[in-house]
Amino acid sequence: MTMKRIEYDILFVGGGVASLSSAHRLVDLAKQGNTPIRIAVLEKGKDFGNHVLSGAVSNPRSVKKLFPDYETNGFPVEGKCSDSNVTMLGAKKAWNLPGFVSPPELNKRGYLILSLSDVTKWMASSLHEKVKETPHIIVDLFTGFAAQEILFDGNRVAGVRVESSGVAESDNCYAKATVFGDKGFLSRDLFAKFNLAPTPQTWAVGVKEVWETEKDFSGKVWHTIGYPLLDGGFGGGFIYGLKDKKIAIGMVTGLDSDNPSLRPPQILQALKKHPWVQEMIKGGKLVKYGASLIPEGGYYCLPKEFAVDGAVVIGDALGVLDVKGFSGVDKAMESGITAAEVLFEAVQKNDYSAALLGQFKQRLMDGWVGKELKASRYYRYAFHKNRVLFSDYLPKVVTGLDGSSIVAGGVSAFLSGPAGLIGSAINLKKLMCGCTDIGPVEWKEDRTASKPDFKASPAAEPEGFAKSTVSSTADLVFYAFTHYHHDNKHIKEFDADVCKKCIKKYGGGGNDVPCVGDCTAEVHEVHEKDGAKYHFMNLENCVQCRTCDIVCPEKNIRVNGAEHGSGPDFSGL
């Protein structure tokens, strides 16, 4: 199928939950107003949901708003959270925090447990059903179409260049308004052209596995702190009980880490070695693996404008995930719904200027999304500014947990430095709750954080785990079900000599270069030929997470959307 000078009213780049929510709301409004409209959604995956991954225990408020009959219309739900826990882990023991000290934002009782890949697939399918008998509403859903470049008419966004599925030539897709719901693949170019984001986004990477288990954990949710992240970096684990005797196990790790060799998939393997987790997966079977970026900066990392002439930014491209309680799905959906209402006005008035489309920012920020993001504006920054709590004191607490009790661990941490502990704890709490105002915060790019001379402190690991339950990263890639067409070149290395210098710099400190050390799928390697070390890529392994792009210290790598429907298959993740 080729696309030659096709023009739409509204074009969505990226088939995620924000884009599809917006498309659904647009169709609803067009039906109510009997308004002709042409909509297209470009999804780079072979099918909707193939490239979508999230932990996904979500407040149902936006689902209810968009689909009031979601409980009976087939909307895919893995379950409803009936048991929510925050669990502190040592290397040997686990302790569920009592309710009076557990962070209230992590209480997920009543929330929906979702497979976001299944949700987006259903939303795309139901969108087709919604417009079956409405000839004045055209909705074209294109899978396997990776947007590669933004097209401009002067300073107005005119559409995108796409690589069409199954053909060699490139085609252009034009629209009166282009909506970017991607995870930075193209929206970063929009930000750069118009200088929309003076404060860079700070990112984490989430890695996730789905297991079939012997026991039924449906409706149970755990968020973990402590082991295996005890170096002061931001992150934690999660375990969600799914239907049909399945569980999701994942780790989220901040990419603003000093460590250039995080190896996120192996941090997850370390979590799985814990006796508490081992008991859950005993006799079970790994069925899926995947990885995805998470925009964590929140309020102060939002772009200064959410729209330009001919374009709007929503969802993860905008950065509306609220790291306080990991409220991402609901806010992404709400951003899409709110944008749709402004876009519909643009269609009615035939006005796609920044002046009209820019109303989206005020509407979103005046609503509950903006209010919650502002209230938690320092949440992520609080951990960044009080890392001593997590690098020095938390290890002592969990050592006490392993040795005798959590109380003993707390006493040990207190005695080791009470002034620092108390001060940091008070400061952390004040920033987390938004009870103090320190003005705007500025983040440096995550790529500036890694230290070539980083020295890892050896950490205790559990013993006696079943070796069959842990996997090498190379083996995990099999469960991401990646498939690439011949001669795929979706990752660009701009200058080989720059990579060689980076390898020398980090290797001199005894470390991997960040693209190798932080990779979630063993795409990047260092090879040696004729006495010289160089950067090598196993492109067929790539799960399209863009971690390497984010952490490359020299900005010498760019990950583009995989063409022809290539990449991973995250169905069911």
pLDDT at 4 (0 to 100): 57
Q: Give residue 417's pLDDT band: very low, low, confident or very high (50, 70, 90).
A: low
Q: Is 383 left (phi over 0), alpha (psi -120 to 50) or beta?
A: alpha
Tens of pLDDT, residues 388-404: 777 777 887 888 788 86
pLDDT at 81 (0 to 100): 98
Span 481-490, mean pLDDT?
A: 91
Span 150-158, mean pLDDT?
A: 97
Q: Helix 406-416 crosses helix 418-432 at what angle (to 10 degrees)?
A: 110
Q: How far apart are CA 58 and CA 223, in angstroms?
A: 14
Q: Helix 116-130 crosses helix 17-33 at what angle (to 10 degrees)?
A: 20
Tokens describing residue 112: 């929906």
Portion of the chain with pLDDT greater than 70, in percent: 94
Q: How far apart are CA 541 and CA 492, in angstroms?
A: 15
CA dihedral 477, 478, 480, 482 (to 10 degrees): 90
Q: CB-based contacts of 51: which residues, under 8 Å, 6+ apart?
A: 43, 44, 45, 544, 567, 568, 570
Report the DSSP beta bridge partners of residue 491: 559
Report the DSSP beta bridge partners of residue 513: none
pLDDT at 279 (0 to 100): 97
Span 144-163, mean pLDDT?
A: 94
Q: Check pLDDT > 60 for residue 408.
A: no
Report the DSSP beta bridge partners of residue 567: 483
pLDDT at 167 (0 to 100): 42
Span 108-133, mean pLDDT?
A: 96
Report the DSSP beta bridge partners of residue 180: 13, 313
Q: Give residue 3's pLDDT band: very low, low, confident or very high (50, 70, 90).
A: very low
Q: How far apart are CA 127 and CA 67, in angstroms?
A: 12
**Exposed, middle or buried, 358 (CB in 10 Å: 0-12/13-18/19+)?**
middle
Report whether 47 contacts 211 (CB < 8 A). no
Q: CB-based contacts of 92: which residues, under 8 Å, 6+ apart?
A: 274, 275, 402, 462
Q: How far apart are CA 220 and CA 228, in angstroms?
A: 21
Report whether 23 contacts 333 (CB < 8 A). no
Q: Give residue 169's pLDDT band: very low, low, confident or very high (50, 70, 90).
A: very low
Q: Check pLDDT > 80 for residue 430.
A: no
pLDDT at 168 (0 to 100): 39
Tokens describing residue 384: 């960044």
- Matching residue, tokens 């690439």: 484
Q: Check pLDDT > 50 for residue 306.
A: yes
Q: Check pLDDT > 50 for residue 302.
A: yes
Q: Give residue 422's pLDDT band: very low, low, confident or very high (50, 70, 90).
A: low
DSSP 408-421: HHHHHHHHH-HHHH
pLDDT: which is higher, 5 or 86: 86
Cα 567–Cα 571–Cα 573 angle in degrees, nearest 5: 105
Tokens describing residue 79: 């379950």
pLDDT at 70 (0 to 100): 97
**Residues found in the chain:** 573
Span 45-65, mean pLDDT?
A: 96
Nearest in space to 142 (alpha carbons), one of 253, 42, 263, 218: 42
Report whether 329 contacts 116 (CB < 8 A). yes
Query: Which run of H or of E encompasses 515?
Result: helix 514-517
Q: Give residue 112's pLDDT band: very low, low, confident or very high (50, 70, 90).
A: very high
Which residue intervals of the chain bear CATH 3.50.50.60?
Answer: 6-68+116-197+302-375
Report whether 230 contacts 236 (CB < 8 A). no
Whether the bond between 228 and the residue before it is cis, its omega within 30 degrees of 0, is yes
Alpha helices in 245-393 (DSSP H): 264-273, 275-281, 315-318, 329-349, 354-357, 359-366, 368-375, 379-385, 387-388
Q: Give residue 525's pLDDT band: very low, low, confident or very high (50, 70, 90).
A: very high
Q: Give residue 171's pLDDT band: very low, low, confident or very high (50, 70, 90).
A: confident
Span 306-330, mean pLDDT?
A: 96
Tens of pLDDT, residues 38-53: 999 999 999 999 999 9
Q: How far apart are CA 413 and CA 548, in angstroms?
A: 36
Per mean pLDDT, which range of 50-59, 210-219, 287-296, 405-414 is the poorest? 405-414
| Topology given in CATH for the domain delimited by 467-559 | Alpha-Beta Plaits (3.30.70)
The amino acid occupying position 314 is I
Which residue intervals of the chain bear CATH 3.30.70.20?
Answer: 467-559
Query: Which run of H or of E encompasses 426?
Result: helix 418-432
pLDDT at 166 (0 to 100): 44
Report the DSSP beta bridge partners of residue 47: none
Q: How far apart are CA 414 and CA 417, in angstroms?
A: 6
Query: Which run of H or of E encompasses 159?
Result: strand 156-163
Q: Check pLDDT > 80 for residue 281.
A: yes
Tokens describing residue 450: 């890694």
Q: How far apart are CA 553 and CA 445, in angstroms?
A: 9
Nearest in space to 296 (alpha carbons), one of 329, 271, 272, 319: 319
pLDDT at 50 (0 to 100): 97
Report whether 354 contacts 362 (CB < 8 A). no
DSSP 552-569: -TTS-EEE-PPSTT-B--
Nearest in space to 573 (alpha carbons), one of 87, 42, 78: 78
Nearest in space to 259 (alpha carbons), one of 288, 235, 294, 291: 235
- Matching residue, tokens 């992150």: 235
CATH superfamily of this structure's domain 6-68+116-197+302-375 = FAD/NAD(P)-binding domain (3.50.50.60)
Q: How far apart are CA 299 and CA 296, in angstroms?
A: 9
Kindly list the strands in the beta sheet with 285-295, ordered across the sheet, starting from the edge strand earlier in the chain: 94-96, 83-89, 220-226, 235-242, 246-254, 203-212, 285-295
Pairing of strands 6-13, 37-43: parallel
pLDDT at 1 (0 to 100): 44
Portion of the chain with pLDDT greater than 90, in percent: 81
Tokens describing residue 529: 């030929």
